[in-house]
Structure 1
């Protein structure tokens, strides 16, 4: 594995760090290839990884798709290379948190939207600037953004190319929460650890239910939950017993 995406594992929490700080973590083909290798490995490690954090090194999450690569006629290993990798990240069985500080523009926003949760720092700056460069999204933004913020807020973001702060992003649902820059690291850690403390079985099963019923009519979705949900996890009895002991 190279050094464009760094992996750190600690007690069930895996952190993937985009590591091109001198380029503001601009997303190029080589970085995506390393991200793909990590994601494919993590997908098979459900017993040792419960939560995945995706973040950027240095001053920001990512300034977006590397425009130098685009201008040079980016050579992809296969069609739809980046969008397939973002889809695999979104479909990980584990909970995925996109931790955003500093810039998160356009292609980087498409990557961040693959997270189940977006945690923003007060320093975060979100924006979709495709229209500024006569581009359209091909990594999922047109589908994931309106599902997260609503169709008309998504239109505003896409049409105006406006930049939004971490606090603004949290106010309209793009980010789940915004933490102060000064305590971002500790707050992010506590947030992830609180999720890890709950049942990993439930997280995986609930994520699958949400994914498989997205867009279904209510009655069809309810039937799916009843007849195809996974029900009780292997640690249910132990967790209930522990709860009684605490009381």
Structure 2
């Protein structure tokens, strides 16, 4: 496939922004140009995404993302990795609910991308793994922080130290994925989750997300005070009509 095609595709429809990693010939492996394309979309979402309530990140072709493009690893110096870690932090802090829709391989850097989303939705065909250790690498995009928060410290260390692959059903069982769908139901399942989010107030969803993120690690008393005194408050809206 020629890469005159965009490295990240974007489609907005019905309140959902779908971002698709578009290097299927490389199993959507991450390289600096792909990350710059992703960053440009994130910048635009921050500036102009107010009417959008959900962002879905997915991969073109047979897998989500196979991690770093090891053929281009020389271009990924420490400064670049830190810059892209900030890009993932920006991704995690979008006001929209962010869903990583994972089918096929979701490995190492690809898993770190998925972990920056609010929810991971897996197809049964999904295969998750952290393979940093196989190459003498250490995480720079949040694996050591986000993975334990998803699955617990002991489970995270097991996955990181063994590079064991986890399929979609096991990912759901251990809390890595919120939901797993059979492959034939995957597209419809992701769409239904997006509709469920969009049925609620964009303001409420964005505020709830911010409150949860901002108070991570707080004591109950600190969190209650933050909720009561640092929240932007409610905005009354008419509920959607009953189905």
Bin for the TM-score computed over the shorter chain: over 0.9
Match of 1:94 in 2: 96
Segments of 4+ in structure 1 off by > 4 A?
A: 75-79
Give CA deviations for 1:175-227 in whole Å, capped at 9, x if unaligned: 00000001111111111111111111111100110111011111111110111
Match of 1:117 in 2: 119
For residue 44 of structure 1, the aligned residue among 44, 47, 66 is: 47
1:20 equivalent in alignment to 2:23? yes
Match of 1:31 in 2: 34
For residue 152 of structure 2, the aligned residue among 147, 150, 153 is: 150
Shift of 1:230: 2.6
- Two-structure CA RMSD over aligned residues (Å): 1.8
Shift of 1:78: 5.0
Shift of 1:69: 1.2
TM-score normalised by the chain length of structure 1: 0.93
Name the CA distance, whole Å, in 1 between partners of 2:155 and 2:185.
29
Q: Would the aligned equivalents of 2:122 and 2:180 in 1 still touch at CA under 8 Å? A: yes
Match of 1:62 in 2: 65
Aligned pair count? 240
Specify the SS of the correspondent of 2:180: strand
Match of 2:56 in 1: 53
Q: Would the aligned equivalents of 1:29 and 1:76 in 2 still touch at CA under 8 Å? A: no
TM-score normalised by the chain length of structure 2: 0.94
1:1-247 alignment, distance < 5 Å: 3-70=6-73, 72-74=74-76, 80-235=82-237, 238-239=238-239, 246=242
Show structure 1 runs of 5+ residues with no match. Answer: none
Give CA deviations for 1:135-159 in whole Å, capped at 9, x if unaligned: 1100011000001110111011001
Shift of 1:234: 3.9
Show structure 2 runs of 5+ residues with no match. Answer: none
Name the CA distance, whole Å, in 2 between partners of 1:138 and 1:78.
10
